[in-house]
Amino acid sequence: MDDKVIIVDDLLRTFGSFTAVDHITFDVKKGEIFGFLGANGAGKTTTMKMLTGLLSLSGGKATVAGFDVQHNPEKVKKRIGYMSQKFALYDDLSVWENIRFYGGVYGLQNSEIKERGEAMLEKLNFGDVRDQMIGSLPLGWKQKLAFSVALLHQPGIVFLDEPTGGVDPVTRRQFWEMIYEVAETGTTVFVTTHYMDEAEYCDRIGIMVAGKLPALDTPAKLKQQFDADSVDGVFVQLARGKQKE
């Protein structure tokens, strides 16, 4: 119980008469890479938005980093990192200005921003592009940078919303290496994705279908449970099952 950093209990979100997230319950342990899968419109992004305090809850309870997201969203926000589907650094600011800006937004001291920012650039091998405008960089670079920026304030949990969408396979691979590295330092990674092969890299996965969460376990156990040889197989079975209904 003590090492659970995300606790979701009977979470509900409705938009008018439409139920986007239908009473789901799960938790995520500290340092885990938790993959959140589902077709478009299954409720992944809605769930993530509720967990990051961007959206209010219609029912149920969610605790992130020890705080109730409904009642203490500001406290939650300080302790999480967030990287959205859309690439979200400023094109007309340089690499360093983006780092400085987001560092400032999360309340880091100038000395901290300088120290961590320099270390980050060195690690990414981005020293040369430090003063270049973000707009001039290739997408893969931007994604890596956006991920690193989301970790600048050293959050306990980082939420990644389809971080590898539209990125080439090599960069995707590098991206996942970065995710592993981060998880090893004890940071919890909550990631949504479309790519079923990426799901295999996760410690545990949850698959959302039409607002519900019918599958929740390690990739290996899910494959066993659904008698499939890949997560893709599990996913297809679940999606078909929904169609039969």
The residues binding another protein (CB under 8 A) are 52-56, 74, 77-78, 80, 82-93, 97, 100-102, 104-107, 159
The CB-of-206 to another protein minimum distance in angstroms stands at 21
CB 115 within 8 A of CB 151: no
Q: At which residue do the structure tokens 């304030």 appear? A: 153
Is 68 or 232 the residue whose CB approaches another protein more closely? Answer: 68
* Shorter beta-carbon distance to another protein: residue 90 or 180: 90
Estimate to the nearest angstrom the gap between the alpha carbon of 8 and the chain centroid.
15
Min dist CB 17 to another protein, Å, is 18
Least distance to another protein, CB of residue 103, Å: 8
Q: Smallest Cα–Cα separation from 149: which of 93, 192, 195, 67?
A: 93
Q: Which two tokens stand for residue 81?
A: 């990192």
Least distance to another protein, CB of residue 134, Å: 11
Report how far Cα 161 is from the mean position of its chain's Cα atoms. 5
Closest approach of another protein to the CB of residue 56, in Å: 4
Residue 4, CB-side half-sphere exposure with 13 Å CA sphere: 11
Q: Which is nearer to another protein, 120 or 157 (CB)?
A: 157
Provide the minimum distance between the beta carbon of 239 and another protein in the complex, in angstroms, as a whole number.
Answer: 28
Q: Which C-beta is closer to another protein: that of 69 or that of 199? A: 69
Q: Which residues contact 111 (CB under 8 A, 6 or more apart)?
A: none
What is the SS3 assignment for 227?
coil
Of residues 148 and 234, the one with the C-beta less far from another protein: 148
Rounded Cα distance between 177 and 181, Å, is 6
The amino acid at residue 232 is D
Closer to another protein by Cβ: residue 86 or 244: 86
CA angle 78/47/172 to nearest 5° reads 80
